[in-house]
Amino acid sequence: MPEILFKKQCGAFVPLAEYYEAYNSLKEGLVYKAKVTRPRNYKYHKMFFAFLTQLLDMVDGFNSIEHLRREVILQAGYYTEHITTSGNTIPVVDSMSFASMDQEAFEELSKKSVMVGLKILSKQINMTEAKRIDYENTLVKFFLD
């Protein structure tokens, strides 16, 4: 079954031009099932990593962007609890891949990530109040403006 991207126009789903051939391959009169999602915006995805890079430059305590990314996602609540063979419960960061998270979910994660970033920033002890405020204003501009 082909994947087809549609745009809603005049109350109906109309295939994008490059998907007309796949759309026309569907048989007339049959019922088709579709899960409607908004595909992820790659530019928004890049902006999320720009946000993490900016945050990494602002704070201490993280040795890599990956370390910070995992912490931010955990604190934003995007994890699954895993019970180890010894009975301990540990959080496992949920995937934020294009396949596992649609645009709406990714936008929600991004907004929560800014709040987490502000929380992490507030715990930095070797920072002047003026610098903290400047950094906070920078972070808020990513997804909350």
Same domain, 58 and 126: yes
Domain count, the chain: 2
Instruction: For residues 111-137, give the mean pLDDT.
Output: 93
The rounded radius of gyration (Å) of the Cα atoms in the chain is: 21
Name which of 111, 101, 136 is nearest 121 in CA terms.
136
Same domain, 5 and 66: no
Least confident of 65-74, 75-84, 87-96, 99-108: 99-108
Same domain, 84 and 18: no
Same domain, 65 and 3: no
pLDDT for 56 beyond 90: yes
Report helix, strand or coil for 124.
Answer: coil
* Domain residue limits at 111: 42-143
List pLDDT tens digits, range 2-30: 788 888 999 999 998 888 898 999 999 99
List pLDDT tens digits, range 99-115: 788 889 999 999 999 99
> Would you say 89 and 81 are in contact if contact means Cβ atoms under 8 Å apart?
yes
Same domain, 9 and 62: no
Instruction: For residues 43-65, give the mean pLDDT.
Output: 94
Q: Which helix (H) or strand (E) holds 107?
A: helix 103-122
Same domain, 50 and 30: no
This prediction has a pTM of 0.73
